[in-house]
Amino acid sequence: MVWVSLDKDQYKERLLLMHTEVPVGGSFQFYLKPGDYQVRASDQKGCEFFKQVKVIKQFNKIQITMVKK
């Protein structure tokens, strides 16, 4: 599962904007306006990913890869 939320310190709770389920080895796309976001992902085995992302223009591509350590 992958979630995108606003990256704002003043929020007491994260404001979820979008989420999607992505199969292993799959891909996805979110279209976002310029701004600050948090991207989170996790799988059923407990692997997790977190990254703060700044979108500065449209059509920015960000690749997320989760690798088990």
pLDDT tens readout for residues 11-38 = 666 788 898 898 877 887 888 888 888 8
Q: What is the pLDDT at residue 54?
A: 84
Q: Is the pLDDT of residue 69 over 60?
A: no
Number of domains within the chain: 1
Q: Which residues pair with 36 in a beta bridge?
A: 54
Residue 37 within any structural domain of the chain: yes
Cβ-Cβ contacts under 8 Å for 49 (sequence gap 6 or more): 39, 40, 41, 42, 64, 66
> Is 36 among the domain residues?
yes
Q: What is the reported pLDDT for 41?
A: 87
**65, pLDDT greater than 80:** no
Please give the residue range of the domain that contains residue 29: 2-55
Residue 64 lies in a domain: no
48 in Cβ contact with 41 (< 8 Å) = yes
